[in-house]
């Protein structure tokens, strides 16, 4: 009787260790939760929302418009990739130009409308600037209140990108994919 209980306990112990190992591997290399801090990505992402970050695609190239988590010096940031390595970025009259081409930013429509109501432009004019080799230029969607590549954070390397934000999973009533 004792040997059956001992075997059962060993079996449970092995199962728990295996589950813990899988959880550590998944969290370290595949997916991780992240809590949005601040209003810099509103209305796309809101303060205190929890997002699932995909760490798997870090070997591939990033796309313009992707929302990523970036390792900062003191904290992590959630931002949208605007300029890829070698891109020339220009912002004029609230319109973004990449390599001379106008880029539509439909995710900014609510914030642009709010800025117009208070007599401001959403994004101040800057550029043209050329994104250095192996660097990315990022901005928040709430550009009136975003610390980003324009104003203090500078450029980021691929190694500083933790992963891509894929999905809001909390609060449950706000679950959604991120675009």
pLDDT digits (tens, 9 = 90+) for 57-78: 655 578 899 999 998 888 899 9
Q: Is the pLDDT of residue 29 over 60?
A: no
> Any idea what DSSP says for residue 172?
G
Q: What's the pLDDT at 17? A: 73
Q: Cβ(22)–Cβ(123) under 8 Å?
A: no
Rg (CA), the chain: 21
Q: Is the pLDDT of residue 175 over 70?
A: yes
Q: Cβ(158)–Cβ(70) under 8 Å?
A: no
Q: Cβ(63)–Cβ(81) under 8 Å?
A: yes
What is the CATH topology of the domain spanning 33-177? Umud Fragment, subunit A (2.10.109)
Catalytic residues: 40, 79
Token reading at 32? 């991780």
Question: Which of 72-76, 105-109, 160-164 shows the lowest mean pLDDT across its residues?
Answer: 72-76
Q: What's the pLDDT at 25? A: 60
pLDDT digits (tens, 9 = 90+) for 108-159: 999 999 888 988 899 989 989 999 999 999 999 999 889 999 988 999 999 9
Q: What's the pLDDT at 49? A: 95
Contact residues for 135 (Cβ-Cβ < 8 A; gap 6+)? 85, 155, 156, 157
């Amino acid at each position: 009787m004792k040997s059956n209980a001992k075997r059962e306990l060993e079996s449970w112990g092995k199962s728990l260790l295996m589950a813990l190992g899988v959880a550590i591997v998944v969290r370290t290399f595949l997916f991780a939760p992240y809590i949005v801090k601040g209003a810099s990505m509103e209305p796309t992402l809101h303060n205190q929302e929890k997002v699932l970050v995909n760490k798997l695609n870090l070997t591939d190239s990033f796309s313009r418009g992707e929302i990523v988590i970036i390792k900062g010096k003191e904290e992590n940031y959630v931002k949208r990739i605007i300029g890829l390595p070698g891109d020339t970025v220009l912002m004029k009259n609230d319109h973004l130009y990449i390599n001379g081409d106008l880029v539509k930013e439909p995710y900014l429509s609510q914030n642009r409308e709010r800025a117009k109501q208070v007599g401001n432009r959403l994004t101040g004019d800057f550029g043209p600037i050329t994104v250095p080799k192996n660097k990315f230029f990022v901005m928040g969607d709430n550009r009136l209140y975003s610390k980003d590549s324009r104003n203090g954070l500078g450029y980021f390397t691929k190694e500083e990108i933790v992963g891509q934000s894929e999905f809001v999973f909390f609060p449950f009533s706000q679950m959604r994919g991120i675009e």
